[in-house]
Homo-oligomer: A and B are copies of this chain.
Amino acid sequence: MTDEPTRRRPTLDEVAERAGVSRSAASRALNNGPNVSRAKREAVLRAIKELGYVPNPTARALATQQAGAVALIISGEDPAVLADPFYGQVIAGASTVLEETDLHLMLCLATSARGQVRVKQLLQARAVDGVMLMSLRGDDPLARLALEADVPVVFGGKPLHGQVPFYVDVDNAHGARQATDHLISLDRTRIATLTGPLDTDVGLARRRGYLEALTLAGLPWRAEEAGDFTERGGIAAMEALLARHPDLDAVFAANDNMAAGALRVLARAGRAVPAEVAVVGFDGLAISEITEPPLTTVHQPILNIGREMTRMLLALIAGERPSPLILPTTLVRRESA
């Protein structure tokens, strides 16, 4: 409740003076480093309290050459990707881990061309101490950029091309196989799939799992239509699929959003789910519980993805060499299959 319009915040020098010690001593006390007598340390701490001193993070960053922040970069044309609660979960996971550290979270949405340039500069300028990169499509230049930028990088999901040393992923192929196997166990023989974008590793891997399961089961029938992980896309894809293959008796959708779309199309088409057409999704997001009927789905631990990516990045920053991580999936049975 001071009424000075904009009083300058105290500097460490002022703290030192007040405490009657040198600035270096004050600095050491502040960061409770060694080589400070008890007496001085306490004097400094007291002065800090009295003056309401808060260290200037920028100055500190300049001196230590550490930015004090990590970036979560979400690539993709459409800023609306964030409407997908998926990312919210990842962010929440990352955030909870970072909260225990001194690092802040910078969120970069690289959508426009200008956005791309800014991300590039962010990397080259080393404006952050580490980077998490998500949802790369095709051979997004961001991957190379990040890798070359001499900054710790962890990928959320393997990028399509090239090997990356550090990533957190989900066992997509296996999850897809679980889904498809489940459908097969329901005696379905004409199982179609709504794939994700086929210029992503996720999209491809889930499709691969689907195909493997069918092959292993000796089922010859297959049909697929590419979607884009949105519900709207799922609707379009399901309509196309149904038109081409009216005899299908099951659908594996590569995520819940598309599965929800498929459900709507099937309902409109008068196909009973699961009686006539069984449907399985992927993700286990909230949406899977509220569709009609509730969705059987392959659950992946999304919150953990964010958490583990962050932990891995912290390890990297700390100079360790963590191993890539592949998180397991579990089939959650509900009513759609």
Contact B88 A57 (CB under 8 A): no
A61 at the interface (CB under 8 A from B): yes
Asked whether any CB of chain B lies closer than 8 Å to the CB of A127, the reply is yes
Partner of A91, one of B54, B82, B100, B112: B82
Q: Is A39 an interface residue when CB atoms closer than 8 A count as contact?
A: no
- A96 contacts B109, CB within 8 Å? yes
Q: Let me know if A83 and B118 touch, CB within 8 A.
A: no
A218 to chain B, nearest CB (A): 36
Given contacts A62-B62, A79-B92, A287-B287, contact A105 B108 (CB under 8 A): yes
CB-CB contacts of A48-59 with B at 8 A, as 1s and 0s? 000010111111
Contact B107 A79 (CB under 8 A): no
Given contacts A82-B88, A85-B83, A96-B79, contact A231 B59 (CB under 8 A): no
Given A59-B62, A115-B99: A104 touches B122 (CB 8 Å cut-off): yes
**Interface: A158 (CB within 8 A):** no
Q: How far is the CB of A324 from chain B (nearest CB, A)?
A: 23
Contact of A216 with B by CB under 8 A: no
Listed residue (A52, A56, A99) with the most chain B CB atoms within 10 angstroms of its CB? A99
CB distance B106 to A286 under 8 Å?
no
- Asked if A125 lies at the interface with its beta carbon under 8 angstroms from chain B, I say yes
Instruction: Answer yes or no: A247 CB below 8 A from chain B CBs.
Output: no
Q: Which residue on chain B has the smallest CB distance to residue A104?
A: B106
A304 at the interface (CB under 8 A from B): no
